[in-house]
């Protein structure tokens, strides 16, 4: 289960990164050029092969309408980018986390989060990502990103987040 | 004018009729079928300490008895400073006139003794003051000192039974999820407590997310959903030694929403495979599993009828969450919820005659009850977010979670009579959710 811990840690780091300005360029200047090839440090948000880049530049999440698990045109664009990144970086695996907003009962929201995560996984598989590189999990309404009880927050919580993992999913 | 006066008199007579009539003919009895508007006044003077070691318990026990009875909303305690008679000996004759004078319809007297070994014995009697008679017979209960609150609950259970004719529920425990921290970093632990919020003990630490514990019928085990492996899995925990293990329920992305059968031998639960969630049953002895639903929709929150013959569950096969009843072995399901809005988390009453549920409509959440065919739907509560009802062992009271709105929102436990009366918060040391009410001990 070591890999899961690692995945969760990476997920937490990514989630933190995603909460800040996704198009930021600052903050990495200190390390820039210090040892990385070209203009970025390996593993930094500017390294196209890094999970940080995936999270911030490709976009690690898609949002859903109330009680829905169908993928919007905007979501498909993000997922096309995710599929391309995963194709270009075949050493990485991914866990897709499905979430619901707080307006629903606990069990139903768990199942709804699974529907959303599975919709993302099926899309990525259809785009050519081998199924054995992907897993999904639902958190229902247990892990909201935004905590206000308004649609502005709910909309951001109805999400599926693709969390990049570095080791084998099957341990 | 005369007509109006007559109507007024009639209204007053109706309001007081149940108590007045019963006090005059037959044993003192309060009818609680639809809840009571006028609580029955009673007195419980401090129990007499028969030994010095009992002094620390005598007053405490009578206070817990009073808290149990008054907490039902069915009874009103007459304050002790209004008492005229002083009870200094358990065996002394009751001064009925003194208790009548303050309109105490029921009187509870008791004594407590404790010996050097720590054994506590409580004796009690219940009196019908206006009939001038004892109601039932005196009884005694014994335990070690740490069990003194249970002694009090047992006394209160007896009084409740004698005055209502109902089976009681005070000597029972609730397993629930204790919550701390803000909404976006909430820590959850399994905990167990007395029905009134006392004696909280933690069953898990907060290292992994836990959800929706469910007591076994005898209260010895708890089913719950844990993220210990990183994925939701059903676990079963033994309350006595707090040992737990994952239930091997079959291949799936996640297993959740478990509940015991009334005989404790089976578990019904949801299993998610791909985007689809269905209901399964597992025989605990053999480990054999059986798929009970097979629809492409979400089927979850199964709950057995007390005779073990049927299962109520929720499904969105119609497009929105609704309640359905099917045979316990699976098969054709009948939809039973037809009102506006969405219905989830159904729980069959221990009496078998009603189903409690969560209803979501027009941006509000409600706890409600209906007959098992869906008729006589009655909403008991309304708030920003009420969910997850659980029945008291006697089927008269429902406990549930209420989460408050906004960034500072937190969850707490509440209880309400099935009449919709006596809504009140259950005091817990931290936030709390997902209660499951265990059996009468």
Within chain A, strands assigned E span 61-63, 93-99, 134-140, 159-165
Nearest CA in chain A to B188: A142
DSSP state at residue B167:
-
> Taking 60 as the threshold, does the pLDDT of residue A31 lie above it?
no
B29-41: pLDDT as tens digits: 777 666 567 899 9
Mean pLDDT value across residues B143-168: 96
Report the distance separating Cα A74 and Cα A62, nearest Å. 8
Q: Is the pLDDT of residue A27 over 60?
A: no
What is the spatial distance between Cα B258 and Cα B250, in angstroms, rounded to a whole number? 14
Segment B408-421 mean pLDDT: 96
Q: Given this model, what pLDDT does residue B250 score?
A: 79
* Residue-wise pLDDT tens digits, B92-111: 999 999 999 999 999 999 99
Task: Report residue A22's pLDDT band, with 50, 70 and 90 as the boundaries.
Answer: very low
Given a contact cutoff of 8 angstroms between Cβ atoms, the answer to whether B270 and B249 are in contact is no
Interface test with chain A among B206, B214, B254, B297, by most A beta carbons within 10 Å:
B254
Q: Does residue B364 sit at the A interface (CB-CB below 8 Å)?
A: no
The Cα–Cα gap between B74 and B388 comes to 25
In chain A, what residues touch B183 (CB-CB under 8 Å)? 102, 144, 147
> Phi first, then psi: what are they for A84, rounded to 5°?
-65, -45
Q: What is the mean pLDDT of residues B307-329?
A: 97
**Mean per-residue pLDDT, B9-25:** 33
Chain B 25-64, residues with CB within 8 Å of chain A CB atoms = none
Mean pLDDT of B433-438: 98
Q: Look at A43-52, A64-73, A76-85, B168-177 and tell me which has the smallest mean pLDDT.
A: A43-52
Q: What is the mean pLDDT of residues A89-102?
A: 96
pLDDT at B6 over 60: no
Contact A105 B387 (CB under 8 A): yes
Q: What is the pLDDT of residues B118-135, one digit of tens each?
A: 899 999 999 999 999 999
Provide, rounded to the nearest whole percent, the portion of chain B with pLDDT above 90: 88
Label residue A151 by pLDDT band (50, 70, 90): very high
Contact B202, B178 (CB under 8 A): yes
**Chain A positions touching chain B (beta carbons under 8 Å):** 1, 4, 7-8, 67, 69, 102-108, 110-112, 114-115, 118-119, 122, 135-139, 142-149
CB contact under 8 A, A119 and B316: no
Question: What residues form DSSP beta bridges with B142?
Answer: B121
Asked whether the predicted pLDDT for residue A111 surpasses 90, the reply is: yes
DSSP codes joined into one string, A101-131: -SSS-HHHHHHHHHHHHHHHHHHHHHTT--G
User: Residue B33's pLDDT is what?
Assistant: 60
Confidence class of residue A26 from pLDDT cuts 50, 70 and 90?
very low
Banded pLDDT at B286 (limits 50, 70, 90)? very high
Whether residue B275 and residue A143 make contact (CB cut-off 8 A), yes or no, is no
pLDDT at residue number B25: 46
pLDDT value of residue B36: 61
* B184 with A149: Cβ contact below 8 A: no
Going from the C-alpha of B291 to that of each of B165, B174, B281, B300, the distances in angstroms are 41, 30, 6, 12
B414–chain A nearest CA distance, Å: 17
Stretch A139-154: mean pLDDT: 96
Q: Does residue A35 surpass a pLDDT of 90?
A: no
Residue B191 has pLDDT above 50, yes or no: yes
Contact criterion met (CB < 8 Å) for B256 and A105: no
pLDDT at A13: 42
**For A33-37, B17-21, B240-244, which range has the lowest pLDDT when averaged over its residues?**
B17-21
What pLDDT, on the 0 to 100 scale, is given for residue A38? 61
Of all helices (H) and strands (E), which one includes residue B301?
strand B299-304
Taking CB atoms and an 8 Å limit, are B254 and A7 in contact across chains?
no
**Residue A11 pLDDT grade (very low, low, confident, very high; cuts 50, 70, 90):** very low
pLDDT attached to residue A40: 86
> How far apart (Å, rounded) are the C-alpha atoms in residues A125 and B379?
45
Residues of chain A in contact with residue B390, where contact means CB-CB under 8 angstroms, are none
Interchain pair B407, A148: CB under 8 A: yes
- Using an 8 Å CB-CB cutoff, list chain B residues near A106: 211-212, 345, 387-388, 434
What lies within 8 Å, CB to CB, of B127 at 6+ separation is: B94, B96, B99, B106, B107, B108, B109, B133, B134, B135
Fold (topology level) of B172-440: Neuraminidase (2.120.10)
Do B148 and B60 contact (CB within 8 A), yes or no? yes
What per-residue string of b and e applies to B355-389 under the rule 16 or more CB within 10 Å gives b? Answer: bbbbbbeeeebbbbbbebebeebebbbebbbbbbb
- Whether B328 has a pLDDT exceeding 70, the answer reads yes
**Taking all residues of chain B, what is their mean pLDDT, rounded to a whole number?**
92
Calpha distance B178→B190 (Å, rounded): 6
Helix (H) or strand (E) holding B277: strand B276-283
Closest partner residue to B321 (CB to CB) among A108, A114, A136 is: A108
A-chain residue closest to B314, CA distance: A108
Cα angle vertex A23, ends A17, A25, to 5°? 90
pLDDT one-digit tens code per residue, B194-247: 999 999 999 999 999 999 999 999 999 999 999 999 999 999 999 999 999 999
Residue in B closest to A146 by C-alpha = B184
Domain ranges (residues) in chain B: 40-164, 172-440
pLDDT level of residue B253 (50, 70, 90 thresholds): confident
Q: Smallest CA–CA separation between B298 and chain A, in Å?
A: 7
Q: Write the residue in B182, B211, B409 that is nearest to A149 by C-beta.
A: B409
Confirm if B325 and B349 have CB atoms less than 8 A apart.
Answer: no
Residue of A3, A103, A110, A146 for testing the chain B interface, max B β-carbons within 10 Å: A110
Looking at residue A95, its pLDDT comes to 96
- Give the least confident one: B167-181, B239-253, B328-342, B383-397: B239-253
For residue A16, pLDDT beyond 70: no
CATH assignment, B40-164: 3.40.50.10070
A108 to B275: CB separation less than 8 angstroms, yes or no: no
The C-alpha atoms of residue B174 and residue B197 are separated, in whole angstroms, by 8
DSSP symbol at B184: G
């Amino acid at each position: 289960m070591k890999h899961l811990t690692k995945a969760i840690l990476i997920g937490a780091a990514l989630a933190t990164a995603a909460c800040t300005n996704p198009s930021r360029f600052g903050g990495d200047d200190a390390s820039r050029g210090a040892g990385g090839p070209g203009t970025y440090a390996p593993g930094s948000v500017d390294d196209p092969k890094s999970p940080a880049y995936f999270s911030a530049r490709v976009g690690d999440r898609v949002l859903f309408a109330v009680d829905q698990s169908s993928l919007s045109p905007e979501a498909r664009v993000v997922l096309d980018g995710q599929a391309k990144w995963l194709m270009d970086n075949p050493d990485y695996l991914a866990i897709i986390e499905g979430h619901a907003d707080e307006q629903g009962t606990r069990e139903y929201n768990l199942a709804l989060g699974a529907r959303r995560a599975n919709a993302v996984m099926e899309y990525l598989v259809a785009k050519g990502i081998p199924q054995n590189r992907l897993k999904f999990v639902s958190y229902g309404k247990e892990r909201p990103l935004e905590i206000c009880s308004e649609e502005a927050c709910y909309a951001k919580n109805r999400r599926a987040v693709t969390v990049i993992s570095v080791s084998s999913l099957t341990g | 004018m005369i007509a109006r006066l007559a109507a007024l008199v009639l209204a007053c007579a109706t309001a007081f009729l149940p108590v007045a009539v019963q006090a005059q003919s037959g044993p003192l009895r309060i009818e609680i079928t639809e809840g009571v508007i006028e609580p029955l006044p009673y007195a419980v003077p401090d129990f007499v300490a028969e030994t010095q070691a009992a002094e620390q318990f005598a007053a405490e026990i009578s206070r817990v008895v009073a808290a149990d009875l008054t907490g039902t909303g069915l009874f009103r305690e007459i304050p002790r400073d209004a008492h005229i008679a002083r009870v200094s000996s358990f065996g002394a004759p009751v001064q009925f006139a003194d208790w009548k004078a303050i309109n105490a319809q029921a009187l509870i007297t008791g004594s407590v003794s404790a010996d050097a070994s720590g054994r506590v014995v409580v004796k009690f009697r219940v009196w019908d003051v206006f009939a001038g008679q004892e109601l039932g017979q005196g009884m005694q209960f014994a335990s070690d000192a740490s069990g003194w609150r249970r002694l009090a609950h047992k006394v209160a259970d007896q009084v409740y039974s004698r005055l209502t004719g109902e089976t009681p529920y005070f000597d029972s425990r609730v397993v629930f999820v204790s919550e701390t921290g803000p909404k976006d970093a909430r820590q959850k632990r399994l905990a167990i407590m007395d029905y009134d919020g006392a004696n909280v003990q933690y069953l898990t630490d907060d290292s992994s997310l836990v959800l929706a514990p469910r007591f076994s019928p005898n209260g010895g085990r708890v089913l719950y959903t844990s993220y210990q492996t990183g994925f939701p899995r059903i676990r079963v925990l033994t309350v006595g030694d707090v040992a737990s293990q994952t239930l091997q329920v079959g291949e799936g992305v996640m297993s959740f929403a478990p509940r015991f059968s009334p005989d404790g031998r089976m578990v019904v639960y949801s299993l998610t495979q791909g985007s689809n969630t269905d209901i399964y049953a597992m025989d605990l002895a053999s480990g054999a599993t059986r798929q009970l639903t097979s629809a492409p929709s979400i089927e979850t929150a199964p709950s057995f009828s007390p005779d073990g013959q049927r299962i109520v569950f929720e499904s969105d096969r119609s497009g929105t969450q609704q309640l359905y009843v099917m045979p316990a072995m699976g098969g054709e399901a009948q939809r039973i919820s037809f009102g506006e809005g969405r219905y989830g988390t159904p729980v069959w009453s221990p009496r078998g005659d009603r189903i409690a549920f969560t209803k979501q409509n027009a941006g509000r959440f409600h706890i409600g009850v209906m007959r098992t065919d869906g008729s006589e739907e009655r909403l008991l509560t309304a708030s920003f977010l009420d969910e997850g009802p659980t029945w008291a062992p006697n089927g008269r009271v429902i406990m549930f979670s209420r989460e408050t709105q906004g960034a500072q929102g937190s969850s707490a436990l509440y209880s309400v009579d099935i009449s919709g009366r006596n809504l009140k918060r259950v005091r817990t040391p931290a936030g709390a959710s997902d209660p499951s009410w265990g059996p009468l001990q």
